[in-house]
Chains A and B, each alone.
Chain A
Amino acid sequence: MSALIAATLIAPLLGAAAGLIAPTTRLRDGATIAGIGTAAAAAVALLIRVANDGTHVVRVGGWDPELGIVLVADLFAVLVLPVALVIIFVVEIFAIGQRRTAWGANPELAGPLLGVLTTGVSLAILTGDLFTLFVAFELILVSSYVLLTHQGTRGQIRSGMTYVVMNLLSSTLFLFGVAFVYAATGTVNIALLAERIPELSDGVRLGIGAWFFIVFGTKAAIFPLFSWLPDSYPTAPTTITAVFAGLLTKIGIYAMIRFHTLTGMDELGSTMLIIAGATMIIGALGALAQSDVKRILSFHIISQIGYMLMGLGLFSAAGTTGAILFLIHHMPVKTVLFLVGGLIENDQGTSNLDRSGGLASRRPLLAAFFAIPALSLAGLPPFSGFVAKFSVIAAGIDASATPIVVVALAAGALTLLSMTKIWIGVFWGTPPDDKATRSEAPGNRTTMLAATGLAVTGTLAISLFAGTLFDLSQRAADDLRSAAYVTAVAP
Chain B
Amino acid sequence: MSIALLATVGGLTTVGLYLITARSLSRIILGFALLGHAAVIALLAAGGPPGAPPIAGNSDEAIANPLPQALALTAIVISFGLTLFLLALAGRQHQLTGDDLVEDDLEDQRIARTSSTESSNES
| Chain A residues whose CB sits within 8 angstroms of the CB of B32 once the complex forms | 168-169, 172
Within 8 A of A (CB), among B17-53: 20, 25, 28, 32, 35-36, 38-40, 42-43, 45-47
Contact B96 A67 (CB under 8 A): no
Which one, A138, A172, A230, A291, contacts B39 given CB within 8 A?
A: A172
Binary contact track B81-92/A, C-beta < 8 Å → 1, others 0: 110011001001
Which one, A149, A162, A165, contacts B20 given CB within 8 A?
A: A165
**Complex interface: stretch among A178-186, A268-276, A394-402, A433-441:** A178-186
Which one, A142, A157, A160, A179, contacts B81 given CB within 8 A?
A: A142
Q: In the complex, what residue of chain A is closest to B81 when comparing beta carbons?
A: A142
Contact A354 B107 (CB under 8 A): no
Contact A168 B74 (CB under 8 A): no
Which one, B67, B74, B97, contacts A135 given CB within 8 A?
A: B74
Which one, A134, A142, A231, A292, contacts B108 given CB within 8 A?
A: A231
| Chain A residues whose CB sits within 8 angstroms of the CB of B93 once the complex forms | 157-158, 161
| Min CB gap B103→A, angstroms | 5
Contact A179 B92 (CB under 8 A): no
Contact A165 B96 (CB under 8 A): no
| Chain A residues whose CB sits within 8 angstroms of the CB of B75 once the complex forms | 134, 175
| Chain B residues whose CB sits within 8 angstroms of the CB of A227 once the complex forms | 105
Which one, B28, B89, B119, contacts A160 given CB within 8 A?
A: B89
| Chain A residues whose CB sits within 8 angstroms of the CB of B39 once the complex forms | 172, 175-176, 179
Q: In the complex, what residue of chain A is closest to B35 when comparing beta carbons?
A: A172
| Min CB gap B18→A, angstroms | 13
A234 and B40 CA atoms in complex are apart in Å by: 34
Contact B108 A161 (CB under 8 A): no
A168 and B17 CA atoms in complex are apart in Å by: 12
A421 and B123 CA atoms in complex are apart in Å by: 8
| Min CB gap A408→B, angstroms | 25
| Chain A residues whose CB sits within 8 angstroms of the CB of B86 once the complex forms | 164, 168
Q: In the complex, what residue of chain A is closest to B67 when comparing beta carbons?
A: A67
Within 8 A of B (CB), among A100-157: 131, 134-135, 138, 142, 145-146, 149, 152, 154-155, 157
Which one, B28, B45, B47, contacts A165 given CB within 8 A?
A: B28
Known: A172-B39, A182-B43. A164 touches B89 (CB 8 A): yes
Q: Does B15 sit at the interface, judged by CB under 8 A?
A: no
| Min CB gap B105→A, angstroms | 4
Contact B78 A157 (CB under 8 A): no
Q: In the complex, what residue of chain A is closest to B85 when comparing beta carbons?
A: A145
Q: Does B62 sit at the interface, judged by CB under 8 A?
A: no
Contact B45 A179 (CB under 8 A): yes
A142 and B82 CA atoms in complex are apart in Å by: 8
Contact A149 B89 (CB under 8 A): yes
A234 and B105 CA atoms in complex are apart in Å by: 11
Which one, A154, A175, A295, A354, contacts B96 given CB within 8 A?
A: A154
Q: In the complex, what residue of chain A is closest to B96 when comparing beta carbons?
A: A154
| Chain B residues whose CB sits within 8 angstroms of the CB of A134 once the complex forms | 75
> Hey, which bits of chain A sit against chain B, CB under 8 A?
67, 131, 134-135, 138, 142, 145-146, 149, 152, 154-155, 157-162, 164-165, 168-169, 172, 175-176, 178-180, 182-183, 188, 227, 230-231, 234, 289-292, 295, 354, 421
> Hey, which bits of chain B sit against chain A, CB under 8 A?
20, 25, 28, 32, 35-36, 38-40, 42-43, 45-47, 67-68, 71, 74-75, 78, 81-82, 85-86, 89, 92-93, 96-97, 102-103, 105-108, 111, 119, 122-123
Given A154-B96, A182-B68, 15 extra CB contacts under 8 A: A135-B74, A138-B78, A138-B82, A157-B93, A158-B103, A159-B105, A164-B85, A165-B28, A168-B32, A168-B82, A169-B32, A175-B43, A176-B42, A230-B107, A289-B111
